[in-house]
A and B are shown apart, each in its own frame.
Chain A
């Protein structure tokens, strides 16, 4: 045992590269998620700029049709799976334990595993660029275009393997956050005292846990079709191409809520903080989020009205889709109610949150217009759909995430992002986004199909396409302004202190950046907006009073060597690397070794071996 313990000694260095590679601290993992996801977000943005440049004028030839197909596929995959989802995960990681008064997540090593699997999955998804062409069948990759016969390139293989690997990451993270929220709340923090961001994280995590297995099945069936000659989506062999659409959208529609609910949670934190009022109708906001989570499972086939499902299915999914707008509307009215009569402080996080509400209403309304099958038949596969998804995903999710970035950056770094540059950032993004995406409504309804790489002149689309492209560039400048703001504020930004916004929730009760153990003493919670109550006493929800006393939530933050935190571990990255090798082996499964009648190959077997060693090392490494 002694020798094994020596081999499995856990890494100890607190700084340097190895400290980051082996970290299990939720705050460091949050930062890793944030930096990685933002990098992918920039890559996805470059892909978008290439497309907008191509579509700037009729009969343009900046990129070829083939490259354009890869661009729109990879832009969507990158933004959804490698941008918005992990940016939300970055906030889950950094903020959830702080807001519930915990020292870490329930399974710190599993949390590290989620990150590394996400990173390797993201790389895997993008490998197609370097191996003869990335995935090019659109992000929902309709069968049977995706069969080996019609898409022979490795890009599609990387689509399948990349999404399978990313699924492992999402599942592990979602399980972890559900249990963290259920089991690690500070004493007194009942479910109905949890901040709305925590509630939305919980709902999102449940959606992930139940949605990802469904797409996993679809991806495995596609994988077997492509590699082992099965017939799942091969019509000649009895397969059904509509089957893929059902499997994809049973995952894909809850996925839409996976993308938007975290942003709704962030906005529900930012609006009260900058209105200096508690959230209006807290139970309604919480329960409408939960209802969206449930109803999100009953609307998937509104993506499939044009497949000819018949009048009954069309009617049912039309009604459920219209109904799901109700809880969404409830939230909007509660946000407006929060603003009403508040003393609004229009700092940058607040601007982004207000931008979210404004733009999400537009995106939500165009969404309701797809709920009617006859209207949807006209809108399907036009730029109107592109306009809708960008209003909800860019105007919604990304604006919510930017509100969160400006709001929590001081907590992460103890520096405030510059307000002047921040306002410039907001207005560039707001104007750019509306210029880029609003005209898509018009030329979409005029019939411009999405995903065409060029168009002839004289269709009435030229002028508005140019406007969209100019808007896209303004948007890109806005993003660059944000990057500048981060770098300059990290160096010269105003020191934030513990509580720069006079915040309401527990993360503001501890130092910025938080010590590795978060809370010197675990706080005891007596009500909603726990920290506000500590500062101003119960029953003084509205308006600003003089603080009764400085909070004592954290106790003293001197040296706390006595607080035991989990040690770093090598094993999460080892297991993740094994998974990467396993997936690579499937794609490049040349000269397979026959084993039990199934073809295996050395790379995959090596990957499986590394995963096993990793899990064993993981399970028997010393607790310290």
Chain B
């Protein structure tokens, strides 16, 4: 909720010395873990239970998804560089790396869109086709929604920086967006490992 806050936001001293908005993001992310947890669990329980195909091993293209996973991981590097830039007051560097982060995020989303499209039109896997499709699309779809929100957030920060609203003194705005972005990345590492890399049992 605490979006790219206004320049000159007054930060009062706190009991712990920790910034309240940063703490809010950490707590929200902890809560979000409990959102992805059941989604991943559902997938793991359901993936070998489809009475009809297509089955996971028939549709996954591991090399392709590895590339898009790599792209998303690199976006985290760009995010780190964006924060480092604004923390030393380099607004130009911030703009470049924010755009790079958002751009890599968009490439990942494009890759996911292409992948969903292939599964749907080529392999005939849809939300309602079987339980594998249901749990796969809902899990990765919610992750994609998180990435989308992140991209919008990053582009908003970029727009704010173009209007001179971000500077060394309020780099926290970038840091909090970064926390969210890194979290979404980490979740993808888990999803990529347990959904794509660990082979699913064949249906009995």
Closest to A234 in B: B131
Question: If A183-B18, A238-B49, A239-B131 touch, does A175 touch B28 (CB 8 Å cutoff)?
Answer: yes
User: B35, B45, B120 — which one has the most chain A CB atoms within 10 A of its CB?
Assistant: B35
Interchain CB contact (< 8 A) of B127 among A107, A184, A224 = A224
Interface segment, A60-68, A391-399, A401-409, A611-619? A611-619
User: A229, A232, A618, A620 — which one has the most chain B CB atoms within 10 A of its CB?
Assistant: A620
User: A110, A171, A238, A239 — which one has the most chain B CB atoms within 10 A of its CB?
Assistant: A238
Interchain CB contact (< 8 A) of A172 among B1, B9, B35 = B1
Q: In the complex the two chains form, is A213's CB within 8 Å of B3's CB? A: no
B39 / chain A contacts, CB cutoff of 8 Å = 217
Question: If A220-B138, A238-B50 touch, does A228 touch B45 (CB 8 Å cutoff)?
Answer: no
Interchain CB contact (< 8 A) of B31 among A1, A171, A217 = A171
Closest to A8 in B: B6
Contact of A151 with B by CB under 8 A: no
Question: If A183-B23, A237-B131, A619-B3 touch, does A214 touch B38 (CB 8 Å cutoff)?
Answer: yes
Q: In the complex the two chains form, is A229's CB within 8 Å of B34's CB? A: no
Q: In the complex the two chains form, is B45's CB within 8 Å of A240's CB? A: yes
Q: In the complex the two chains form, is B130's CB within 8 Å of A183's CB? A: no
CB within 8 Å of A: which B31-87 residues: 31-35, 37-39, 42, 45-46, 49-51
Q: In the complex the two chains form, is A178's CB within 8 Å of B27's CB? A: yes
Contact of A120 with B by CB under 8 A: no
Q: In the complex the two chains form, is B6's CB within 8 Å of A210's CB? A: no
Q: In the complex the two chains form, is A620's CB within 8 Å of B31's CB? A: no
Interchain CB contact (< 8 A) of B6 among A189, A231, A597, A619 = A619
CB within 8 Å of B: which A197-252 residues: 209-214, 216-218, 220-221, 224, 228-232, 236-240, 243, 247, 250
Interchain CB contact (< 8 A) of A237 among B51, B113, B142 = B51
Contact of A594 with B by CB under 8 A: no
A243 / chain B contacts, CB cutoff of 8 Å = 42, 45
Q: In the complex the two chains form, is A107's CB within 8 Å of B15's CB? A: no
Closest to B5 in A: A619
CB distance from A130 to the nearest CB of B (A): 31
Contact of A416 with B by CB under 8 A: no
In angstroms, Cα B45 to Cα A615, docked, is 37
In angstroms, Cα B24 to Cα A172, docked, is 10
Contact of A623 with B by CB under 8 A: yes
Interchain CB contact (< 8 A) of A221 among B3, B33, B42 = B42
A615 / chain B contacts, CB cutoff of 8 Å = 1, 3
Q: How large is the interface on B (under 10, 10 to 19, 20 to 34, 35 or more residues)?
A: 35 or more
Q: In the complex the two chains form, is A232's CB within 8 Å of B6's CB? A: no
Closest to A220 in B: B138
CB distance from A31 to the nearest CB of B (A): 23
**Which label, helix, strand, loop or mixed, suits the secondary structure of the B interface?**
helix
Q: In the complex the two chains form, is A597's CB within 8 Å of B127's CB? A: no
Q: In the complex the two chains form, is B31's CB within 8 Å of A228's CB? A: no
CB distance from A29 to the nearest CB of B (A): 15
Contact of B192 with A by CB under 8 A: no
Q: In the complex the two chains form, is A175's CB within 8 Å of B24's CB? A: yes
Question: If A182-B16, A182-B23, A231-B130 touch, does A212 touch B4 (CB 8 Å cutoff)?
Answer: no
Interchain CB contact (< 8 A) of B46 among A209, A213, A240 = A240
Q: In the complex the two chains form, is A618's CB within 8 Å of B138's CB? A: no
B31 / chain A contacts, CB cutoff of 8 Å = 171, 175, 209-210, 212-213
Contact of A596 with B by CB under 8 A: yes
CB distance from B99 to the nearest CB of A (A): 20
Interchain CB contact (< 8 A) of A232 among B16, B20, B28, B134 = B134
CB distance from B78 to the nearest CB of A (A): 23
Closest to A180 in B: B20
B128 / chain A contacts, CB cutoff of 8 Å = 228-231, 237
Encode B108-149 as 1/0 by CB contact (under 8 A) with A. Answer: 000001001100100000011011111100100010000000
Interchain CB contact (< 8 A) of A620 among B6, B28, B142 = B6
Contact of A106 with B by CB under 8 A: yes
Closest to A250 in B: B38
Encode A534-554 as 1/0 by CB contact (under 8 A) with B. Answer: 000000000000000000000
Contact of A462 with B by CB under 8 A: no
User: B2, B15, B24, B117 — which one has the most chain A CB atoms within 10 A of its CB?
Assistant: B15
Closest to A623 in B: B6
CB distance from B112 to the nearest CB of A (A): 11
B49 / chain A contacts, CB cutoff of 8 Å = 238, 240
B163 / chain A contacts, CB cutoff of 8 Å = 1
18 A-B pairs in the complex with CB atoms less than 8 angstroms apart: A110-B2, A179-B27, A183-B18, A184-B14, A209-B31, A213-B33, A214-B37, A220-B142, A224-B127, A224-B138, A232-B46, A236-B51, A238-B131, A238-B132, A240-B45, A615-B3, A616-B3, A619-B5
- B residues near A (Cβ < 8 Å) are 1-6, 8-10, 14-16, 18, 20, 23-24, 27-28, 30-35, 37-39, 42, 45-46, 49-51, 113, 116-117, 120, 127-128, 130-135, 138, 142, 156, 163
- A residues near B (Cβ < 8 Å) are 1, 106-107, 109-110, 113, 171-172, 175, 178-179, 182-185, 189, 209-214, 216-218, 220-221, 224, 228-232, 236-240, 243, 247, 250, 596-597, 615-616, 618-623
